[in-house]
Amino acid sequence: MKNSNLMTSVDLTLTDKKMDNPYHFIYGSNLYGTLFGVFGQFEIETTGDGNVCLVKKIHMDLVNYKGLINIGFSKHTPFIKGRKNIYFGVKGGRREYQKTIKFKDPLVIKKHERLPLVFNRMLYPIKGFEFDIKKRNKRDNNKELKKPIPKTRVFDTEFQYRSGSGYYDSELRPGMLGYNGLSLESIRNTMPFPSPRCHHSKVSLFFA
């Protein structure tokens, strides 16, 4: 089974029937040894005698399950780019676990049809380990960093690694700030938007 075929499904009919509006699983990952998941509560409105569903907002809730470092949302406001790509940021040690995506133009789903969405996650470094993207991408990961190790309570094991008294840059991976020179700001301001290069999950919205 290929990763490209992995997808989760959200039944918006449950929301339309005025049940206790559930949170649906939309994303999961493991960072800093912490397993966490992101759930979404969909705020909708039906029109056309109930034949059309309009998704107006998605309330996101991040839950940490196992690990020493809590993962939280970064300061950035989640946004949609194009018709299906949703971007949000996360950060280790940050205590913000709720975010809301507001759609300027509601997402439209006709009855008995599906709408695919892609949730793209970008990891930002722990406080004290921030960096300039251009300078970072010019450095040699095999060379010891000349600046001292930040005197923080937690060492950022995703963006750097250490050996004795020295420390080094780790290779940036998809879904990390600076990979291919990208940040959430650059993705938001790029026209046309690039293909997703963040760590992502595929979600299919369904309205019956």
Specify whether 97 is located in the same domain as 116.
yes
Hey, is 200 helix, strand or coil? strand
Match 């996101």 to its residue by tokens. Answer: 60
CA proximity to 179, closest of 205, 150, 201, 200: 200
Q: What angle is formed at CA 87 by the lines to CA 107 and CA 174, rounded to 5 degrees?
A: 140
End-to-end CA distance of the chain: 28
pLDDT at 198: 55
Look at residue 17 and tell me whether its pLDDT is greater than 60.
no
Look at residue 50 and tell me whether its pLDDT is greater than 50.
yes
Specify whether 154 is located in the same domain as 185.
no
pLDDT > 70 in the chain, percent:
91
For range 55-67, the mean pLDDT: 96
Q: Name the strands in the sheet holding 52-66, side by side, starting at the edge strand that comes first in the sequence.
A: 24-31, 34-47, 52-66, 98-110
CA proximity to 126, closest of 158, 100, 98, 174: 158
Specify whether 123 is located in the same domain as 141.
no
CA distance linking residue 142 with residue 208, whole number of Å: 54
Specify whether 87 is located in the same domain as 160.
no
pLDDT > 90 in the chain, percent:
72
pLDDT at 3: 55
Range of the domain at 81: 3-127+173-207
Look at residue 74 and tell me whether its pLDDT is greater than 70.
yes
pTM equals 0.90
102-153 confidence digits (pLDDT tens): 999 999 999 999 999 999 999 999 999 999 999 999 999 999 999 889 999 9
Specify whether 164 is located in the same domain as 177.
no
145-195 confidence digits (pLDDT tens): 998 899 999 999 999 999 888 899 999 999 999 999 999 999 988 754 444
Specify whether 146 is located in the same domain as 182.
no
Hey, is 147 helix, strand or coil? coil
